Amino acid sequence: MQRYTATVRVMGTHLASTSWGSLGQVTLTSSNSSSIYSDVKDSMSPSLGQATPRRLISNSSPMFSDIKEIKSPSQWDDIKAESSSSNKSILLNFTAAWCPPCRMIAPVLQKLAKEHSDGILFCKIDIDAPETTDIVADHAVSAVPTFIGFDSSGSIVNTFSGADKAALDDTIGKLLVSKT
């Protein structure tokens, strides 16, 4: 059986691979080789010619497991308390599902979260979620993505907006230095 593979990369970072074969099996695999979904070609819509996932293998992508999603003010309070008790800094990412730069920087952020999880809590907040509007307003977020770095005492170390890898690296460097 012949197999075909397509790889998804953003800014050089491998996100996922899709493979399919002549027998109709389609699998989407994340960068850490765990399957996200699997499908069989016979579920294709005749009018659209596109497969619809029939069997979900994982409800959430394992690619973003190192970044905590804050969905309420109480979760934000819990993260700040965890930061203080564990002496870890926080990198807070204000994002939106409709934002192309946010999607572009997400795999870079995930890679950094894996590399620096011992010293920094990586978190994200969807600015459009009704439960997070107070947090967004408290931090005067006017653009996405916006990143705010906090040391373990809650003081702001750095703030910037945009999908800027150099600024992200600089902020992480400052957060790591603020721990010492």
List the catalytic residue out of 26, 70, 99, 136.
99
Q: Which of 102, 106, 123, 175 is catalytic?
A: 102
123 is catalytic: no
10 Å Cβ neighbour count for 36?
Answer: 19
Q: Under the phi-then-psi rule, with left for phi > 0, alpha for psi from -120 to 50, and beta for the rest, what region is 33?
A: left
Rounded distance between C-alpha atoms, residue 1 and residue 164, angstroms: 43
**What's the CA gap between 125 and 67, in Å, rounded?**
10
Residues in the chain: 180
Cα separation, 83 vs 77, in Å, equals 10
Token representation of residue 37: 């979904």
Residue 20's DSSP bridge partners are 4, 26
Identify residue 127 by its one-letter amino acid code: I
By annotation, the residues acting in catalysis are 99, 102
